[in-house]
Amino acid sequence: MKRTPLYELHKELGARLVPFAGYEMPVQYPTGILVEHAHTRRAAGLFDVSHMGQVRLTAKPGHNAAKALETLVPGDIAGLKPGEQRYTQFTNDAGGILDDLMVTSTGDHLLLVINAACKDDDLAHLQKHLSDACEIEPMFSRGLLALQGPQAAQALARLVPAVATMKFMTGAFFTIDGAQCYVTRSGYTGGDGYEISTPADATDRIARKLLTQPEVKPVGLGARDSLRLEAGLCLYGHDIDTTTTPVEAVLLWSVGKERRVQGGFPGAAVVQKQIAEGASRKRVGILPEGKAIAREGAEIVIGGKVVGKVTSGGFAPGLERAIAMGYVEKAQSANGTKVELMVRGKPVPAEIVPMPFVKHAYYRG
Amino acid sequence: MADVKYTEEHEWISIEGDVGTIGISAYAQEQLGDVVFVDVPQAGRKVAKGESVAVVESVKAASDIYAPASGEVVEANAALADTPGEVNTDPTGKGWFFKMKLADKSELDGLMDQAAYEAFVKGLG
């Protein structure tokens, strides 16, 4: 089992460590998921996401790294100005999603953040297809800290004043406590916040420094999941995978406008056909009545007929009720459609609703 | 004075006469984390030993609660609908799940007493 640079800190803080994507990761601290979730929505939560993969792409002479990466993803990467960040997906030839990722241009390089469980496959994929055009440097030992919540900016700005005016989905290099870090204003909670890429040996001391800020408390993977579900964000391997396309997953907003027309990414023909004719199914938000929680795998039923499955479901601490997302047939996907979710063999009345469940609060300047 | 026994599934049963009250141990609630919903059985339901009769939902996952013996549910803890967190704060008191009339008390003979259960938990590391 692998450990992140914060393993000792997690133990000191009394975290419950669980295996996750090959790492011993904190699912929660002694405060518990509900308190950690609420704290992140009210103040600032510090998450260790060092298990995620960081990769640096650098163009080889005569090549363009953004153009090269665009052969693997449908996002508009060539259009990224230095300091801009974008969300995109690695697709396969059927238009399915191999992984989802964040891409930031530093001007000289592209910095990729990929999912922990996919990182070895993603790296092999990059090496197979981009080696002629790019230097591909896995930086899997680096730390990655997410500082999330409405008070994240004031807490981090005490250490690095310039982060206060950064806009959502931008990034820049900063020196924190003597270490060169790359900071982006982004996250996975639907709220304001930052992700801070740190040299491995500086991760622990930067995390401790952040935890001494009065706004900041440590938050585990349990609350990370409940926060992202409230925000309607996809979890790879659950809400998106090789059997779902960006169109079906309602991620078309992340597919570049020109790229929809021009293609040039794996599965482009499938995606373009779905854009033109509509996909046969769609990812939707679902609000169950009452208190029962429909979890991943629960069948979505209309009039006794199964029309889809829940891909993520749980308790939303911010709403004090159960929420879910899943895929349903296109014809049944309109907001307000009444469905039933099968929970332990019993139908629970529910309704298809717009996402996010909790309004996004990104800082756009 | 009620006699309290424990199962290997970390449930406790407090026995008074031929009625048992069932809940989960302090260790179990700590392992589950914050409890957000408890699906308790209807009074009158006949249950067999080992049958899943209630479900406790934490933020992370759902866990079954099994009948430690055969019999009939006589009362469920309705208060848990509004205050599921009592399973965390008072697992062996206000956090009880249901009471059942025991068909055959000898079915409880194999269960652990307090000392044996504490040793069992210790053995789990």
Evaluate whether residue B70 is within a structural domain: yes
Q: Which helix (H) or strand (E) holds A222?
A: helix A221-230
| Dihedral in degrees, nearest 10, Cα atoms B103, B91, B24, A288 | 100
Instruction: Select from A27, A34, A293 the Cβ nearest to the Cβ of B57.
Output: A293
pLDDT digits (tens, 9 = 90+) for B16-70: 999 999 999 999 999 999 999 999 999 999 999 999 999 999 998 899 999 999 9
Cβ contact B60–A322 (<8 Å): no
Across the interface, whether the CB atoms of B36 and A315 are under 8 A apart is answered yes
Residue at B125 is within a domain: no
Diameter of chain A measured on Cα atoms? 62
- Residue A148 structure tokens: 């999330």
Structure token pair of residue A357? 């469940």
Task: List the CATH number of the domain containing B34.
Answer: 2.40.50.100
CATH architecture of the domain formed by A280-365: Beta Barrel (2.40)
Considering the domain delimited by A7-50+142-230, tell me its CATH architecture. 2-Layer Sandwich (3.30)
pLDDT reported for residue B60: 86
* CB pair distance less than 8 Å for A34 and B34: yes
Give me the number of domains chain B comprises: 1
Phi, psi at residue A158, to the nearest 5°? -65, -30
CA A97 to chain CA centroid, Å, is 14
Chain A nearest C-alpha distance from B22 (Å): 21
Judge: B59–A291 Cβ closer than 8 Å, yes or no.
no
Q: Which residues pair with B22 in a beta bridge?
A: B13, B98
Q: B116 lies in a domain?
A: no
Comparing CA positions, the residue from B17, B13, B29, B116 lying closest to residue B68 is: B13
Residue B115 domain flag: no
Q: Is A108 helix (H, G, I), strand (E, B) or coil?
A: coil
Measured between CB atoms, which of A292, A314, A344 is closest to B59? A314
On the question of pLDDT at B2 being above 90, the answer is no
Nearest residue on chain B to A312, alpha-carbon basis: B60
In a domain, B113, yes or no: no
The SS3 of residue A331 is helix
The residue length of chain A stands at 365
Strand partners, A170: A84
B33, closest residue in chain A (CA to CA):
A32
Distances (CA, A) of A353 to A70, A265, A285, A325: 33, 32, 5, 9
| Chain A residues within an 8 Å CB radius of B61 | 295
Chain-centroid distance, C-alpha A313: 16
pLDDT in tens, B74-96: 999 999 999 999 999 999 999 99
Polymer length in residues for chain B: 125
DSSP string, A229-283: HHTT---BTTTBSTT--TTTTT-GGGS-HHHHHH--STTHHHHHHHHHH--SEEE
Q: Is B36's CB within 8 Å of A34's CB?
A: yes
| B34 neighbourhood in chain A, CB within 8 Å | 32-34
Q: What angle do CA B81, B83, B86 make, to 5 degrees?
A: 120
Residues 6+ positions from A299 with CB-CB distance below 8 Å: A306, A308, A309, A310, A341, A342
Per the structure, the complete domain to which residue B8 belongs is given by 3-106
Q: 3-state class of A209 per DSSP? A: helix
Which residues of A touch chain B, with CB atoms under 8 Å apart?
16, 27-28, 32-34, 37, 222-223, 225-226, 291-293, 295, 314-315, 317, 322, 344
**Burial environment of residue A12 by CB neighbours within 10 A (0 to 12, 13 to 18, 19 or more):** exposed
Tell me the nearest-neighbour CA distance from B88 into chain A, angstroms: 11
Regions in chain A scoring below 50 on pLDDT:
none
Q: pLDDT at position B1, please?
A: 59
Best of A33, A37, A39, A341 to disrupt the B interface (most B CBs within 10 Å) is: A33
Kindly write down the DSSP assignment for every residue of A82-96, as one continuous string: TTBEEEEEEE-TTS-
Nearest chain A residue (CA) to B80: A291
Is residue B42 in some structural domain? yes
CA distance B115 to B111: 12
Q: How much of chain B is helix, strand and coil, in % rounded to 5?
A: 25, 40, 40
Domain boundaries, chain A: 7-50+142-230, 280-365
Residues of B with CB under 8 A from a CB of A: 33-34, 36-37, 39, 55, 57-62, 81, 88
